[in-house]
Structure 1
């Protein structure tokens, strides 16, 4: 696979993480340390799941779309929970729980598992496979960081700040549906 094709795949895979990072970053309770945790989680799981997918695709030759459906359902559920949280006046934000790094990191990266399974499995050399999947992970790190930087400016808009949970939850639900049906 040439570098141009790899970058197109890496950017396409990173867009789910970018959208989820935008919705997370709109929440005023999410601190810089939480954002860094999500950036690392999203990048790591994009890397590891694309690597596992490619290796599994090398070992097996069948394909199923079930992982995308499961990831979409999880992201949509988190979106519904964020909207519900918007109606409640609580001190603790759901996104600040440590388990959310794992849950959302895996959810936005399940498509990387499938893409690795289908696309990257033809790579013969483990070093090339490792390099390609690292590029996917680093691309996700960069795009997720950009998303969080954008939310720094979006949070200054009063309307967005006031309805952040609703906007973020709606974005997550839409991404969940996209993963499940498109």
Structure 2
């Protein structure tokens, strides 16, 4: 696979993580430690699912290719609803501080990497090429998520954005979840 094609695939896969990272980063309660956990989780699960999909793709791509998108979209949709609900609660407790959310969100934004592994990366000729390609996807997601958290730091300074961050983030995640499931 050409580098240009791999880069476009990695960039497209990381956009889910970018959007979720941006929404999470708008929340003032999220600490640097939480952000690092999310960034590592997003990068790792993109790598892990891409490599699992690549090795299992020749067996499953005709039967499972559409199911992971629906599952990932449903998870993101549910988290968006929970984020809206969290916005209605007091600001003392935050949905994203819970340790299990790092894993749940890492998996949900990375389900599409499994599909790419099933359909695209299983055509790569050698195991080393698969490893390099999937590591590249994981590192790209890591860097894109980091950029989203850095951007959210500046967006949070805008009063209206910081005041309604949970609502904005929840609505974005709901729309994103619906898009993942149906489009």
- TM-score range for the pair, normalised by the shorter chain length: over 0.9
TM-superposition CA deviations, 1:40-59 (whole Å, max 9, x none): 00000000000000100134
- Asked if 1:106 is matched to 2:84, the reply is no
Unaligned segments of structure 2, at least 5 residues: none
SS of match in other structure, 2:62: coil
SS of match in other structure, 1:62: helix
SS of match in other structure, 1:85: helix
Q: CA RMSD in A?
A: 1.0
Return 117-126 or 2-11, whichever deviates more. Answer: 117-126
Q: CA deviation at 1:96?
A: 0.4
Between the aligned partners of 1:31 and 1:60, the Cα distance in structure 2 is 40
Between the aligned partners of 1:60 and 1:24, the Cα distance in structure 2 is 33
**Number of the residue aligned with 1:7:** 7
- Asked if 1:163 is matched to 2:139, the reply is no
TM-superposition CA deviations, 1:125-163 (whole Å, max 9, x none): 111100000000000001000000000000000000100
TM-superposition CA deviations, 1:32-87 (whole Å, max 9, x none): 11000000000000000000001001344524301110110111111111111111
Between the aligned partners of 1:104 and 1:96, the Cα distance in structure 2 is 12
**Number of the residue aligned with 2:126:** 125
SS of match in other structure, 1:91: coil
Calculate the TM-score normalised by the size of structure 2.
Answer: 0.97
SS of match in other structure, 2:77: helix
Between the aligned partners of 2:24 and 2:90, the Cα distance in structure 1 is 18
